[in-house]
Amino acid sequence: MAPLMKLAMAGIRTFTSSIAFFYRHPSLILLSLVPSSLRFYQMWNHLQTPAWMEVAVLAARLLLFLLMIALMLNRPLREFSRKDFWSEFGERCSVQFNRDWPGVFIAQLAVFIVLLYGLMNLLLQWATRLLLDPVIQLPGLQTEDRSAAHDALLFFLKNMSVIPLSMVYVLHMAGLRPRPKQNRG
């Protein structure tokens, strides 16, 4: 296999493994509903919403990111308060970066831009147009403001796909992959 093709395949493997990881964990999907629902409400109301909602979105995303790390490393969240956890974490990321620089890293970045950002956003735009009329016909959601409804649905979908998948993708680029459970006796 040509070197360029090997690099492209490394990026595609990162993309597919990110999707598989995220959607295989119901806890991640359920937690993603928090920022997704809040963003839906915020966009539906033209961002004329209380400031606590933005803080809640940020807190949910931070918890989501930490839960992803915990699931990838098969470590409980309580270990995150230990210095040796973060030393190991930093070492793992450093080793991965040094191993993948520059070829695999650039290939992963290219796949991220083209597939995760580009293609996913195009698909979400298409899905939003397709789902917009059925959504605004739901009881309690009737509106004449198609623009707000479009933005609300689009931001909901992005918060359930592109944003959490981007987090997983970056963590995979950094060398964090699910590993077998260890007996910590």
> What would the pLDDT profile of 116-138 be if each residue is shown by its tens digit?
889 999 999 999 888 887 777 77
What per-residue confidence (pLDDT) applies to 182?
55
What confidence score (pLDDT) does residue 136 get?
A: 72
68-105: pLDDT as tens digits: 999 999 999 999 999 999 998 899 889 988 888 888 88
- What would the pLDDT profile of 39-55 be if each residue is shown by its tens digit? 999 998 888 899 999 99
CA dihedral 96, 99, 102, 103 (to 10 degrees): -100
Widest CA span of the chain, in angstroms? Answer: 60
Calculate mean pLDDT across residues 139-168.
86
Please give the pLDDT value at position 4. 80
| Helical ranges in the chain per DSSP H | 3-23, 26-44, 51-73, 83-100, 103-111, 120-136, 146-159, 162-173
State what percent of residues in the chain have pLDDT above 90: 51
Q: Is the pLDDT of residue 185 over 50?
A: no
For residue 159, what are its two tokens? 């918060």
Encoded amino acid at 171, one letter:
L
Helix axes 26-44, 3-23, angle to 10 degrees: 80
Could you tell me if 176 and 69 are in contact, meaning their C-beta atoms sit under 8 angstroms apart? yes
Contacts 24+ apart (CB under 8 A), 123-126: 124/154, 124/157, 124/158, 124/161, 124/162, 125/154
pLDDT at 63 over 90: yes
Instruction: Give the mean model confidence (pLDDT) for residues 152-177.
Output: 92
